[in-house]
Amino acid sequence: MRRLAAFSLALILLCAPAGAATLTSSIESTALEMGDSVTLIISLSGGDSAQPPDLTALTRDFTILDRRRGSRQAVVDGKPVTVNDWVLTLAPRRAGALTIPAFSLAGATSAPIRIDVTAAAQPAKEETRPLFIDVTVGKGTVYAQGEIPVYVRVYDSLGMRSGSINQIKAEGASFREEGQQDSYVRTIGKTRYHVVQQTYIMTPQRSGPIEIEPVTLKATIPVPYNSSPSEMARMLGRGNVPMPWLDGSLTRGQEVSLHSDKVTVEVLPRPAQAEGWFLPARAVTVRQSWSGDPAKGRVGETLTRTLIVEAVGASPNQMPPIQLPDVEGLRQYEEDTQTKSAVIDRQQGAALTKVIAVVPSRAGTFTLPPVTIGWWNTDRKVQEQTTLPAVTLTVAALPPACSPRSPGLERCGAGSRVGMPDGWARWRSASRCWWRWPLLPPCCDGAAAPQGALSPPGLVWDSPRPPCGRGASRR
């Protein structure tokens, strides 16, 4: 019966899931105008579901313009997990305070998201063009070496046959593409546009004004055969010119080149009140995880400590280095440090992960000091600190390798007979049990002879063979 119970428990543990599934919802912006669209990403981590979440409640306030599904691999708390993503392009049905509802899937539930939708502003004259390119800088402040999103959008109501844009650039800043191109529909005034958007992350290298050069769109568009160059220029220019009726059977392809306006980004200098490493952010958190219980450590056994620092609104190259002071009786080895962009509470930011191997060299109680991260609060414009409290490690000594049954033998393992090196004692103990090497018990501890020696030099050992734990001698 006892064996059956143990087998049942092992079967239950084997069939139990490695970790609970989590479901999250994230959007790129919580402030919209009527006519805008927004991308909603629903992510299921650590669970498996071929069916999407129920979107019935979502369609009450939003129109779903596009939907896609994908999967990817991610690392959560040092373990690989599969993440299923459902990407939805949404357009609000009305102005006001709207809520993206909570979703439930695979036993997990996401948090609702509030969105404020305002009435569409009166369209400017240039927004009535049937085809144009626009460059917009994301909201928020940016410091040197920081990051800010830049959106390049092509508005098309003509039905481009092909198109391309040149590389975005600015003197004193670098850019990198963020994600794939997104497409959606937006209505401005009385014109319905197909919008293609590419997001870039801008990293200023200095403070002061930085000007983003015009981005050029080269496109092939359908035009009537009887249209003249002057009519084409008027149609694509800044004037409020009615769009002619285009019949696909009576049109030809015309290559055009359009440019966006220059955009100036004001990069702030480091504030005089900032102290130490400059980390501008809206929020900073510090947390940790351990591979084992710090209160149950053992001499010589490794505990892996993982520190994670997350900063909302910061960039990876702004994350500070973490210096860990030495603690007597503990050896600390840095195994890995990584910084990367991250989405934190549905906001863009950066995360730093530092993995440390902690090896106690003696028994006792040890205190790892607090980990303090100084940062500049970009919302309150003050210097702040986030602290991870001190950690207490309780380390026990290793048990003796063999029971001391011979009067002339103190123990085999650490602290062997006087005059006999510790390594030789462990090897001698293991060699006494040579006939059981295929099934060495823990007391022999897999001991091996010291490297480069065949026998203990200058050492005489005439005491009886020490037993190797219970049942070590043949019967």
d(CA 298, CA 306): 19
Are 186 and 35 a contacting pair, CB within 8 Å? yes
Question: Which pLDDT score is estimated for 72?
Answer: 81
**φ, ψ for residue 226 (rounded to 5)?**
-95, 10
Question: Which pLDDT score is estimated for 390?
Answer: 95
Q: Taking Cα atoms as reference points, which of 139, 131, 115, 185 lies closest to residue 163?
A: 131
Structural domains of the chain, with CATH: 20-118 (2.60.40), 125-267 (2.60.40.10), 280-396 (2.60.40), 401-475 (no CATH)
- pLDDT less than 70: residues of the chain: 1-19, 49-50, 75-78, 121-128, 224-252, 346, 401-475
Residues 6+ apart with CB under 8 A from 406: 463, 464, 466
Residue pLDDT, tens place only, 454-473: 444 444 444 444 444 444 44
